[in-house]
Structure 1
Amino acid sequence: MLSQLAKLPKLYQHFTIHNEIGPPLSLMEFLSMHYWGQDLPDNDEQEDMKLPFKKYDLTAFSFVFVSNHKLHFYKPPQVAFIKAFGLAKPDNYSQSYISALFRPPQV
């Protein structure tokens, strides 16, 4: 887009050349002739194609930034907590047995 806008001076220069060599044109007539309508048979197609937005140049830029800085991750130390109060859970039952929907009668 910026490269096309940089061609605007070329548009003005081409407009003044047309007004010098032929009948005077308004800016709208000039734009209509070069962009929306039929151009005059003046054999300047190469100059016409240098005008902005006549042809598009696809240019892509990619930037990759690689840092030389090494990353250090801090892992906090693990602390074991001992439960000092409350009742201990018995280890003589199965978790799947308690969560099952069907429970056989117990003695």
Structure 2
Amino acid sequence: MQKIYLYILIFLIAANNSVVYQLFKIPVLVEHFAEHHQQKPAISAIDFLAMHYWGQDQNDDDEARDMQLPLKKFDFHSPSLLYIPVQRHYIPVVVHATQDLKVPFYKANQHNNPALAALFRPPSVV
């Protein structure tokens, strides 16, 4: 039984912090379509979606209602947590004595020749 509660809790947290919560606004979409269908019975569902999502919205003074539709306005919620410890913990710095490193001398044969790596090389006599 606790697993079911855990799954419900995880779903609610994920739905609140993702695009899934926009699915909860589908009843508002249906109600708004019914309102437009009462005003203009000839409007189809595709025309309604095209008017509100894909084209210019008609000036019918319902801008506030249009912004309640799914995927019209996004709210981003980000939880944050600040932890301040009660006591300060100090980690001692330990310095280890190391040997002096010898720097190798420059040797010309250890470096690549950029001409050999070129894609195009002019013909050469060997």
Structure 1 residue 26: deviation in Å? 1.1
Q: Which protein, 1 or 2, shows the higher relative CO under an 8 Å CA cutoff with sep ≥ 6?
A: 1
Uncovered stretches (5+) of structure 1, i.e. residues with no partner = 64-107
Q: Give the structure 1 partner of residue 55 of structure 2.
A: 37
TM-score (structure 2 length as normaliser): 0.46
Normalized per residue, the structure richer in helix is: 2
**Distance in 2 between residues matched to 1:6 and 1:48, nearest whole Å:** 15
Number of residue pairs aligned between Structure 1 and Structure 2? 64
- Give the superposition deviation at 1:7: 0.2
- 1:6-85 residue pairs with structure 2 within 5 A? 6-61=24-79
SS of corresponding position for 2:64: helix
Instruction: Tell me which stretches of 4 or more aligned residues in structure 1 moved more than 3 Å.
Output: none
What is the TM-score of this pair, normalised by structure 1?
0.54
Separation in structure 2 between the aligned mates of residue 2 and residue 62 of structure 1, nearest angstrom: 21
User: Helix, strand or coil for the counterpart of 1:24?
Assistant: coil
**Aligned-partner Cα distance in 2 for 1:9–1:62:** 31
Q: Could you say which structure has the larger radius of gyration?
A: 1
Unpaired runs of 5+ in structure 2? 1-18, 82-126
Deviations 1:24-53 (A, max 9, x none): 211111000000111121100000000000
